[in-house]
Amino acid sequence: MIRRPPRSTHCISSAASDVYKRQLLEYANMKRFGCDLEEALKLIEKAQKESLVCTIPKYMKARLVSIQGDPFAGKELVDGVQKENPVIDHTLLEVRYLSSAMVNVKSKSAAFKLITAYIAVCPDDMRASLNQIYALYIMKDSDRVLEYSKIFLDKYKYDACVAYYRAKAYALKKERDEAFKYFDLILNQSKEPMFLAQCYYDKALLRQSATEFDEMKTELEAAFSLYPKINADIVLADLYRNRKQYSEAARWLDSYASRVDKATDIYYNRMCATLSVETGNKEEAIRCYTVLIEKDGANAAYYSMKIESLL
């Protein structure tokens, strides 16, 4: 609960008022991380009205506008703050935040240019260098990911995220052995369960299920045990289905179903339909394809054809 300062507190810089403004911003952050961006923006604007001099709410608003999908509007807000209070360090820092937001929307190349300009002024900002490599990774520019990540590793020695981007870049270039080398490096050095699970999962997907079943199964099971939400279980279901081990396939599909809404989840219904067809359960297959016609309209004609073939 946010507590307002007493009505007798008139000075905007009083301790009680400062606490209130800080609570507004903290609550806005909570809303932002909870993906309630509209409510977060209202709180930030309220904090702006409470403070005539503080630029922090304006920076937060700029970042939020960017995350909502309009990074250039966010950049204009930052430019306005810079004119009011030209503190270069703060402005550069916010440009870094804005460039991160741009990466996650449609302005990936603009993000890369913005980060690169920032690094030219602040070459020792490790986080900005990470954002630069991440922008290239999102752009699927494998060659430049490898180029910039090598520069980063030469300077900072090791970073798990950079090692991961290198692994993924090599995977895109079909250089599997190099990708495995960096995945293994992370698996040997990182202690973050979710990150380890992602590496096991990505490594498994680079394997050939027909010839590397045991390795693929082991890695997917490791990923699932570390972080079940990574959906390794539905990949395991398909892996066992391909080997016609239907009881194991059904067990892993049930595991996935326990975390999703079976009535609406596309991946569950696709796998359930395929498994039902192969095990002779036409009624269940038709039910799943009917759900898919509604929930995956782009492929409705294909699902209708599958239903006709079962009638």
Q: Could you report the per-residue pLDDT of 197-246, keeping only the tens digit for each? A: 999 999 999 998 889 999 999 999 999 999 988 899 999 999 999 999 99
Q: What is the pLDDT of residue 88?
A: 40
How does residue 130 score in pLDDT terms, banded at 50, 70 and 90? confident
* pLDDT for the residue 191: 86
Mean pLDDT of 38-60: 49
Rounded CA-CA distance 278/210 in Å is: 18
Higher pLDDT, 33 or 63: 63
- What is the overall mean pLDDT for the chain? 75
**Residue 178 confidence class, pLDDT cut points 50, 70, 90:** very high
Nearest to 25 by CA among 57, 50, 62: 57
Average pLDDT of 163-169? 95
What tens digit of pLDDT does each residue of 181-196 get?
999 999 999 888 988 9
CB half-sphere exposure, 216, CA atoms < 13 A:
18
Of 174, 201, 207, 205, nearest in space to 186 by CA: 201
- pLDDT band of 128, cuts 50, 70, 90: confident
CA 9 to chain centre: 43
- Residue 57 pLDDT level (bands cut at 50, 70, 90): very low
Nearest to 44 by CA among 22, 17, 16: 22
Which of 130, 134, 199 has its CA nearest to residue 171?
Answer: 199
Q: How many CA atoms lie within 13 A of 131 on its CB side?
A: 28
Q: What span, in angstroms and rounded, lies between the C-alpha atoms of 195 and 305?
A: 40
Q: What pLDDT, on the 0 to 100 scale, is given for residue 245?
A: 96
Look at 36-40, 111-115, 293-297 and tell me which has the smallest mean pLDDT.
36-40
CB distance 71 to 110 below 8 Å: yes
Task: Please say whether the dihedral angle defined by the alpha carbons of residues 218, 137, 228 and 205, taken in this order, is positive or negative.
Answer: negative
